[in-house]
Structure 1
Amino acid sequence: MKFTVHAAYRALEAEGLVTSSRGHGTVVRQQTPLKRLGIARYDKAKWRDADEVAFIADRVATGRAYRRGEQTQSVSRVEAPPAVAAEHGLEPGAEVYARARLVKEGEQPTHTLTSYYRPQYVEGTRIVDPTPGPTGRGGGFRVLYDAGYEIDHMTEELFARVPTSDEVELLQLPAGEPVVELHRTTYTADGTVVEYAIGLHAASRFAWKYDFKVPDSTRDGKAAQ
């Protein structure tokens, strides 16, 4: 009987219906994924004029609640990894601030996000305050805006891959579940990079949605790419 129950748990875990982790046992997984808004989550009306930071906008769009303790963070001044230095246009070995967050829904982790900033842009702001939770009203984008760095556009790249053993433990992933790695570069209107962020998302816990105007480079007078 013991082996039958164990096999049943393994089958449910393989189908993504339950998840097992050390210290948490076996629990039923949330079946409705969070809507991970692609563009609407960055609407300035949310973070500049209100207090809805990007990941909370996802919760609102999904009809789910958020509690302050569901985001933890650490802030440190570190030597920029090569990809970070390249995006910021820094020399190898230059220092940046790294603001790392682990976001949960209840007790279940959903994703991580680490934002990297040039020190001169964020020194003395709430971005480098390690207090858990968002950086106050409007989050990091509002802090940059108040410091004179209004975000204008950004690029996002997504990569699906197999997680490392440390990532499996951190995100409490079931066997065989991939992760979606996000690279986000945020610019001001003059092209200054004010944030470069790397996120890691449990693939089954998000449904990605993009709503955008279809470009017409011929009508707009732009050269075709």
Structure 2
Amino acid sequence: MVSTDGDGARVPASERLAAELRSAIESGALAPGAKLPSERELAEQHRIARNTVRQAIRLLAESGLVVAEHGRGVFVRPATAVIRLGNDRYSPRYRSTGLSPFLLECAKQGKAGRFEVLLIERTKPPPDVARRLKLPPDDESVLRRENVFWADNDPVQRVTTWIPWPIAEGTPLLSDDVGHPFGIHGIFEERGHTMARILDEIGARMPTPDERQNLRLPAGVPVLDVLHTSIDTEGEPYELTRFVMRADLSGLRYDAPVE
């Protein structure tokens, strides 16, 4: 079944139902966590086939508005607390906590933060990493550390860090637990690299299959892709990290002077 919109274009019944349910979700008539009527109920209410209802629900799921739970039904995606990292996250005033920026934000929200180490290796840097760190791309010139960060039971970020090998060699950066009270940045400072400036390059995209699996991403949820470069007091880049963040659980906040 199709109808026409205000411009005379033909609109499939599945898209019309999806638009009606989307409007109910956005207006709050269907609140976060609310269960949608069953396929049978929606089909009867709108006098359409159940496979048409199924297509409408798929459109909503791909938009990140609903989640299907096997054996229970389809629910409006619940509102979740966002792990929001700001431009001050590396400030020395947080050093006394002994927590990384992510773990500190978790603690503020009463969440249990942790990380899982996926990989530590000496390797060749990707071309974009080599260019930003001013390293040769054809040599094993970096240490690569890859982790997944969790808040309670939710994997929130996949984090890949590249460190020039002369900085990392012979340090606890080669271990799962760096063991420094100020984390990896404490080790950088001991190696003569104190953070003076950061450069964050931010984009949004749909996840790769590997990222979808690592972050347990529901259908339709994109990721924030943050490429972070640490720059020392001499103006030299000494560390680059790619944060791939679940967009439904993550945010960024910047409060900086206009120069």
Q: TM-score by structure 2 length?
A: 0.69
Picking from 133, 153, 156, the partner of 2:200 is 156
Picking from 79, 84, 102, the partner of 1:55 is 102
* Residue 130 (1) aligns with residue 176 (2): yes
Matched residue pairs, number? 205
Q: 1:105 to 1:28 in 2, by over 3 A?
A: farther
Q: Which structure 2 residue ranges, 5 or more long, are not aligned?
A: 1-37, 42-52
Q: TM-score by structure 1 length?
A: 0.78
Picking from 40, 44, 58, the partner of 2:92 is 44
Aligned to 1:90: 135
Query: Does the aligned pair in 2 maintain the 1:19–1:174 contact within 8 Å?
Result: no
Picking from 151, 154, 165, the partner of 1:119 is 165
Q: Which structure 1 residue ranges, 5 or more long, are not aligned?
A: 216-225
* Larger RCO (CA under 8 A, 6+ residues apart): 1
Q: 1:164 to 1:52 in 2, by over 3 A?
A: same
CA RMSD in angstroms comes to 3.0
Q: How does 1:160-171 map to 2 (within 5 A)?
A: 160-171=204-215
Q: What is the distance in 2 between the residues matched to 1:172 and 1:153?
A: 33
Helix, strand or coil: the match of 1:191? coil
- What does the per-residue CA deviation read over 1:66-106, in whole Å, with 9 as the maximum and x for residues that have no partner? 34xx2011211111111111111112212210011101122
Percent of residue pairs identical: 25
Query: Does the aligned pair in 1 maintain the 2:157–2:215 contact within 8 Å?
Result: yes
Which structure has the larger Rg over C-alpha atoms?
Answer: 2
Q: What is the distance in 2 between the residues matched to 1:27 and 1:170?
A: 23
Q: 1:54 to 1:30 in 2, by over 3 A?
A: farther
Helix, strand or coil: the match of 2:195? coil
Letter in 1 for 2:91: D
Aligned to 2:154: 108
Letter in 1 for 2:85: L
Picking from 206, 213, 219, the partner of 2:257 is 213
Letter in 1 for 2:90: Y
Letter in 2 for 1:52: L
Q: CA deviation at 1:128?
A: 1.3
